[in-house]
Amino acid sequence: MMAAVALICMTMTSVALLSCGGDDDDDNKGSELTPNTYEVTLSAVLPESAAGFFTLDLDYIGADGNTNKVTVKAGDQSDAMSEQMKKLYDTQKEFAIAQMGWDNKPEKRALFDQLIVKNVTLVVPAGKSFSYKATIKARTNYTQPSGEAFDVVRPFAYMGSKRISGNSQDSSVFTESMNLKAYGSVETESLADFLELLDGSVVAEDSRTMK
């Protein structure tokens, strides 16, 4: 009899716990849901080590459907990285440095801190789309490097978003991306081949409908 009572109590407890969870869901369903609006940040990044050879084009279409273009080139004033972007960049920077074997080479590590950043901010409501593409273009009036070889951090782009209003399910958590890469000891005599290799390369491309 005692065992049967205990079993009934355990069963009732389980039902009560499930019921509590259901009450929370019902409360959420009962509250008024407001569609989300997101602030999307697009950043085109031209490292100084690459600026003598390349420019970086950022083509994008905002929620209004208009097509826009930003070109980052040597001599441009740099914008600041957002806190969200800086956190991801620091992580990927250390990974790239480790891949190159540059951990204990301060002069090579410094290449990752010399950047020209150009930011674009888009406001994208739920149900609206945006798209972008970042493309490397070789300069015709490039700077001939001195020495037998040189190092280059490839131009790259960052995309991230955050919800700025609304209380629907937040889809911004899956939007952050960056593609960081470096080339070491590129032979100066092979510069023309190196320019041809990267010219027209798409380093980032995405199209999303926000929810």
User: One digit per residue, pLDDT tens: the chain, 211 residues?
Assistant: 434 334 333 333 333 333 344 444 444 455 788 999 999 999 999 999 999 999 999 999 999 999 999 999 999 999 999 999 999 999 999 999 999 999 999 999 999 999 999 999 999 999 999 999 999 999 999 988 889 999 999 999 999 999 999 999 998 877 899 999 999 999 999 999 999 999 999 999 999 999 9
pLDDT at res. 143: 82
- What predicted TM-score, i.e. pTM, was given to this entire model? 0.83
List of residues 6+ apart from 45 with CB closer than 8 A: 56, 72, 115, 116, 117, 118, 155, 156, 157, 158
| Closest of 173, 170, 175, 174 to residue 160, by C-alpha | 175
Q: What is the pLDDT of residue 174?
A: 76
Burial class (CB in 10 A: 0-12, 13-18, 19+), 138: middle
Q: Identify the pLDDT of residue 6.
A: 41
pLDDT of residue 102: 96
Q: What is the pLDDT of residue 11?
A: 36
